[in-house]
Amino acid sequence: MADLPYRIVIGLEVHVQLLTKTKLFCGCPNRFGLPPNSATCPVCIGMPGVLPVMNRRAFELALKAALALNCQIAAFTKWDRKNYYYPDLPKNYQISQYDLPFSYDGWLEISTATGPKRVRIIRVHLEEDAGKMLHDEQGGGRDSLVDLNRAGTPLLEIVSHPDMSTPEEAKAYLEEIRLMLRELEVSDCEMQEGSLRCDANVNIHVPLAGGGHAATPIVEVKNLNSFRSVERAIRYEAQRQYEEFQKTGKKLGEVPKATAGWDENRGITVVQRRKEEASDYRYFPEPDLVPVEVDDAWRERIRASLGELPAQQRRRLQEQYGLSAYDANVLTSQGRAMVAYFETVSGKCGDPKAACNWITNKLLAVAKTQGSGNGGPFALPAEHLADLIAEQKAMGLTKQISEELFDLMVGEGLTAKEAIERKGIKPVASADELLAIVRRAIAANPKAVADFKKGKTAAAQAIKGAVMKETKGTAKPDLVQQLVMDELQKV
Ligand code: ZN
Ligand code: MN
Question: Is the domain of 445 the same as that of 351?
Answer: no
Using CB atoms within 10 A of its CB, is residue 62 exposed (0-12), middle (13-18) or buried (19+)? buried
For residue 485, list its beta bridge partners.
none
The residue from 351, 372, 407 where one domain ends is 407
* Same-domain pairing of 320 and 296: no
Ligand closest to the CA atom of residue 222: 2
Of 301, 331, 355, which closes a domain?
A: 301
What is the Å distance from ligand 1's center to 29 Cα? 8
Q: Which ligand is nearest to the CA of 53?
A: 1
Range of the domain at 336: 310-407
pLDDT tens digit sequence for 402-442: 999 999 999 999 999 999 999 888 776 577 888 888 999 99
- Which ligand ends up closest to the CA of 47? 1
Q: Are residues 215 and 316 in the same domain?
A: no
> Which pLDDT score is estimated for 373?
52
How many A from CA of 259 to the centre of ligand 2? Answer: 15
Integer Cα distance of 154 and 91 in angstroms: 16
Q: Is residue 421 part of a domain?
A: no
Closest CA to 129 of 290, 291, 15: 15
Residue 159 falls within a domain, yes or no? yes
The SS3 assignment for 443 reads: helix
**Ligand 2 centroid to residue 128 C-alpha, Å:** 8
User: What gap in Å lies between CA 96 and CA 93, rounded to an integer?
Assistant: 9
User: How many whole angstroms separate alpha carbon 18 and alpha carbon 188?
Assistant: 8
In a shared domain, residues 192 and 49: yes
The bound ligand whose nearest atom lies closest to the alpha carbon of 29 is 1
In a domain, 415, yes or no: no
DSSP 8-state code for residue 136: S
- Rg (alpha carbons) of the chain, rounded to whole number: 31
Last residue of one domain, picked from the residues 301, 322, 346:
301
pTM of this structure:
0.87
Residues of the chain falling short of pLDDT 50: 1
Between the CA of 8 and the centroid of ligand 2 the distance, in Å, is 24
Residue 376, pLDDT score: 60
Query: In whole angstroms, what is the distance from residue 395 CA to residue 428 CA?
Result: 8
Task: Give distance in angstroms: CA of 127 to centre of ligand 2.
Answer: 7
Give residue 351's pLDDT.
Answer: 96
Q: How far is CA 455 from CA 125, 451, 480, 486, 489, in A?
A: 77, 7, 20, 15, 12
- How far apart CA 151 and CA 167 sit, in angstroms, is 32
Query: What is the whole-number distance in angstroms between the Cα of residue 137 and the centre of ligand 2?
Result: 26
On whether residue 209 sits in a domain, the answer given is yes
Q: 300 alpha carbon to ligand 2 midpoint, in Å?
A: 27
Same domain assignment for residues 485 and 363: no
Instruction: Tell me the C-alpha distance between 489 and 491, whole Å.
Output: 6
- Give the ligand whose atoms come closest to the C-alpha of residue 39: 1
Same domain, 333 and 252: no
**Taking a C-beta distance cutoff of 8 angstroms, is the pair 367, 380 a contact?**
no
Flag whether 423 is in a domain.
no
Q: Mention every residue, 6+ apart, whose C-beta is less than 8 A from residue 204.
A: 6, 7, 8, 9, 215, 216, 238, 241, 242, 245
| Cα 141 to middle of ligand 1, angstroms | 30
Which ligand is nearest to the Cα of residue 23, counting in written order?
Answer: 1
pLDDT at 91: 93
User: How many A from CA of 130 to the centre of ligand 1?
Assistant: 12
Do 252 and 338 fall within a single domain?
Answer: no
* Residues 275 and 339 placed together within one structural domain of the fold: no
Q: Identify whether residues 289 and 323 lie together within a single domain.
A: no
- Considering every ligand atom shown, identify the ligand nearest to the alpha carbon of residue 44 and give its number: 1
Phi, psi of 297 (to 5 degrees): -65, -45
Q: Ligand 2: distance of its center to the CA of 157 in Å?
A: 5
Contact present, 97 and 24 (Cβ < 8 Å): no
What is the number of residues in the chain? 491
Our measurement of the distance from residue 403's CA atom to the centroid of its chain's CA atoms, rounded to an integer in Å, reads: 28
Q: Tell me whether residue 424 is in a domain.
A: no
CATH code of 479's domain: 1.10.10.410
- Tell me: do 199 and 340 sit in the same domain: no
Q: How far is the CA of 60 from the centre of ligand 2 (A)?
A: 18
Distance 199 CA to ligand 2 centre (A): 10
Largest CA distance in the chain: 103
222, 290: one domain: yes
- 450 and 367 share a domain? no
Ligand lying nearest the CA atom of residue 16: 2
Ligand found nearest the CA of 24 = 1
Task: Count how many domains the chain has.
Answer: 3
Residue 375 inside a domain? The answer is yes
Q: Residues with Cβ within 5 Å of ion ligand 1?
A: 26, 28, 41, 43-44
Hey, CA dihedral for 15, 20, 25, 27, is it positive or negative?
Answer: positive
Residue 432 has a pLDDT of: 83
User: Which residues share a beta bridge with 271?
Assistant: 260
125 in a domain, yes or no?
Answer: yes
